[in-house]
Homo-oligomer: A and B are copies of this chain.
Amino acid sequence: MPLSRRGREMPASPIRRLASLADETKRRGVRVYHLNIGQPDIPTPPEMLDAIRRFREPVLAYGPSAGLPETRAAMADYLGGLGTPVAPSEVLVTDGGSEAVLFTMLAVCDPGDDLIVFEPFYTNYMGFARMAGARLTPIRTRPEDGYHPPPIGEVERAISPSTRAILYCSPANPTGTILRRDEVRALLDLAIRRDLFLIADEVYREFVYDGVRHTGVLEVAAEAGALDRVILVDSISKRFSACGARIGFLVTHNRDVLDACLRFGQARLCPPTVDQVAAAAGYRVLSRYVPPMIDEYRRRRDRVMEEIARIPGASCARPQGAFYVMPRLPVDDADAFATFLLRDFQHEGRTVMVAPGDGFYATPGAGRDEVRIAYVLNEDDLVTAMDLLRRGVEAYRARRGL
């Protein structure tokens, strides 16, 4: 029985494909520090968990396909508070930011079409593109440029007749790069000039350090009078340390896109009900919850950068946002290195798990000396984990004779 080609070619997530190996490692009694996945240790707002506990309906019923009215209203209010008015009817609640990306790709791409992305990119864009039958056209960004996009002419040259959209993430996973206002505007102007959609993934919007100001795609599009050109992908997962709620959202002023995504949404009926109630509760405490969390991540960012500096041969652009860094390590094959850490290495009964860099690139061979680190552990654990990483690099190099 032949599997579909996309079934065979669907990439395993570099963040998760080593999960069963890590389980084995743990069964051997070795403690694994997880730097591989953006699962924060920060407590979810108690008000969200209380909202779940206060759920009193006798029937756990379907909600509307576009999301519960209170949840859509909370998301619209939140975005409106950032400066660009958004109506609840322009918000579609999704099963995580994941589904928002998938629906967006399905709405703008047919099989064989392509999207322009900046690599390294959030690895699951590749998976969703594969599911949608679409292709990613990668534009390379480099640590020496702080992973900022190249001049807009280089982006434009990558556009082909089958290109339908430009997709970017800011603050970026996995690099922490924040696009400047002029960069967002240049991408929008290019999208207008070449009749493309501009898709912005801003799930890390609040995760911004060093006094940098995040520029939202909606404010730039409103200024340019091109709101119907953009699709915003968002999620509560990181903002409220509530990844397991699986509540994301998609926002657009483009009625055609919204209608198509609503029809995709009708097929899957609705997002989970209780979790949407929790999401609405989260937004009521956002202004109190977020600032101390961001301070904590900034401290972790500083600490992880210090620790990377202690690894001989490692280098890293300093991230200004999100909670990832993408260091280059003195290893020949990050995938083999990540496997080595779990299978062949331990120090005092402990090891560390990282995401190999190649899964964040569409260009074959790229990222083989990079890993993605999510600084989602408390400072003590983070220092321990980074110390293990340094020792792991040393042991790996010795084993490989590097």
Contacts and interface: CB of A to CB of B under 8 A. Distances in A.
Interface in A28-45: 37, 39-44
Interface string A86-115: 000000000110110010001111111100
Indicate the size class of the contact surface on chain A.
35 or more
B62 A244 contact: yes
Interface in A247-289: 254, 256-257, 260, 263-264, 266-275, 278
Contact of A61 (B63, B243, B269): B243
A44 B65 CA distance: 20
A382 to B, nearest CB: 16
Interface centre among A3, A15, A106, A264 (most CB of B within 10 A): A3
A110 B4 contact: yes
A16 interface: yes
A260 B10 contact: yes
B6 A106 contact: yes
B133 A10 contact: no
A7 interface: yes
B13 A41 contact: no
A48 interface: yes
A324 interface: no
Contacts of A274: 52, 244-245, 274-275
B16 A65 contact: yes
* Highest count of chain B CB atoms <10 Å: which of A124, A197, A269, A270: A269
A402 interface: no
A269 B243 contact: yes
A17 B262 CA distance: 10
Q: What number of copies of this chain does the assembly contain?
A: 2
A4 B106 contact: yes
A330 interface: no
A246 interface: yes
Contacts of A314: none
Interface in A176-207: 195-197
A5 B113 CA distance: 11
A194 to B, nearest CB: 10
B243 A60 contact: yes
A270 B254 contact: no
Contact of A266 (B6, B16, B58, B110): B16
20 contacts: A1-B229, A4-B106, A4-B164, A7-B107, A7-B257, A8-B260, A10-B264, A13-B263, A13-B266, A16-B266, A16-B269, A49-B55, A52-B274, A60-B241, A60-B278, A96-B268, A124-B269, A133-B133, A243-B269, A274-B274
Given A2-B195, A4-B109, A16-B266, 5 more contacts: A10-B106, A16-B65, A60-B245, A95-B272, A128-B267
